[in-house]
Structure 1
Amino acid sequence: MTRPSVADIEPVGPAGQRGRLARLARTNVVWTLGVLVGLAAVFAALRPEAFAGPFNIRTIFINAAIPVVLAVGMTFVIITGGIDLSVGSVLVFSGVVAAKVMAANGAADADWTVIALGSVAGVAAGTGWGLVNGLLVTKGRIPPLIATLGTLGMALGLAQVATDGSDLGAPRRLTDVVGNHLIARQLPVLALVAAAVAVVFGWLLAATRFGRHTYAVGSNPEAARRVGIRVDRHLIRVYALSGLLAGVAGVLNLAKFSSTTIASHTEDNLSAIAGAVLGGTSLFGGSGTIAGTVVGVLIPVVVNDGLIILGVQQFWLFVAVGAVLVVAVFFDQLRRRLRDRD
């Protein structure tokens, strides 16, 4: 191994600090955070009492909780160069499984043992769909777009068959303690759960061998195989992780709305993908961070909230998110072309 030259060593002192700050300023997370802060500042200036009040800030974090959980799993999948269109349907299916298990053991008056049993069943159901996706992609050699589009339909269809298309209710304890409860009258439990998911899986991606293998598989699968990474096994685990988090989101959705809300998740896959991409995760694989994804998810949530407060039609949100998503992918392609040219 050769020693680094003097030119390769980052200078210490003010010059080295300026270099680190310059690199930090160029990161996607910083730019995305700047966009988020700018949007929040605009809405706060236009409607300071309505937008910047404690109640509305709590509402923003509550509304972002479930999309954050979905987008964290999506980030892992996209970093490997894949995609998971099934997360919204898996969320619904997992919520149905959890609600049915809870209903079979006490329904509205279920105690915490029953709630825990139903929650585990819902998360296991989501993980199972993730495993199916991973096997279809790796062993079936089906492109991720097609494989997860197929399981999207299957998971949603089975959820509707199991319920005859009608929503199922949730135990009151789950709704009161997880869905609506505020710790110290300020911190929503839903938002804290989402934050815990982001921290744990952010650490998993940034500081563990599993995370390093995820980046390696997305950057160059063949090179990853040559250095001993079992690419197929790793992809199965990544898709299972995405399914697991969709299962967690299904239980949180049950707690938030006191219902399975079967017909309300057609845009969840788009929201999860948009959050990851807006946060700097490359659709071509190999790069992305959970911190960036969390900020990326908050952008459309803040825009949606601000549009409602300003009385603008909510349909403009889809226009804005779609346009920003296209622009983000365009600049990602441009950045990759410039890097390859160098």
Structure 2
Amino acid sequence: LLRIGHLLSCAMSYSNTSDLTNPSYFILLGIPGLEAAHVWISIPFCTIYAIAILGNFTILWIVKIEPSLHTPMYYFLCMLAVIDLVLSTSTVPKMLSIFWFNSREIDFSACFTQLYFIHSFAAMESGIFVALAFDRYVAICDPLRYSTVLTNPVVAKIGLAALLRGGLLVLPYSLLARRWPYCRANVIAHTFCEHLAVVKLACADIRISSHYALLVTFLVRGPDLSFITFTYIQILRAIFSLPTKDARLKTFSTCGSHLCVILAFYIPSLFSSFTHRFGHNVPLHFHIIIANVYLLVPPHAQSHHLWGEDQTDPRQAAPALYS
């Protein structure tokens, strides 16, 4: 605690001179080492982004006009769609401007705003995945109580908790990063203002930023992944205990696409987080591509897979567990 207090006091003293030393803008390099391929790399990124935007707006529109979809699962999917729209839109337009027009400059304050949006909305997305896993768990493992457990007020409280957790946990290290003095280089070796890529440019002891960011990763990803793993183990046990193959396939189809989207989010996310800190032998361009995949693929996967699944309510099959 004394050590953290000392680092915080140093951060405060550094911030007093930051206005004199900070650059007016940062320069985003894009994907170092692959500059010649930027135009070609932009094609799949732009395509995935366009599909994600169209798909997520379609989800919101269909759920709005179709009363039969006014259920907890689709409310959570709408929350996820909004988060995905913000998350991808906060990074992709600037990234494409780098690839297409070599527009690499980003305003100093805008960089930290982008940093906050990226990391806070990623944490919010993780919380909504937990909510979706809980929804599927109740629908399949305890279907008779589904309508009494997941009422509209409960759904609203779960969504609000996920949003507040992500926004509040990320806020301290975003504000702290903003207060460091940046008197060295102003070149960020990334396509967006990723936290560690930015604070490494500070001419100060940034250990508290690094440690707190790692703590947030464990506080968010650890409990969320543990809960999702537990619920899907219970779901799979319930599915395999169904009496007929048709019932098992019908029930599993409602969860398979959810699981694919969850894996598409967590695997690149964890890989990106830990290789940035510990994977010093991982090529920088590979790390940056994975970081962009983790921001782009889940929105695309949600819009593509969740509406391609069998829309049969698993509660139609799951009651066989209790018959």
Q: Give yes or no for TM over 0.5.
A: no
TM-score w.r.t. the length of structure 1 is 0.31
Q: Please give the TM-score of this superposition, normalised by the length of structure 2.
A: 0.33
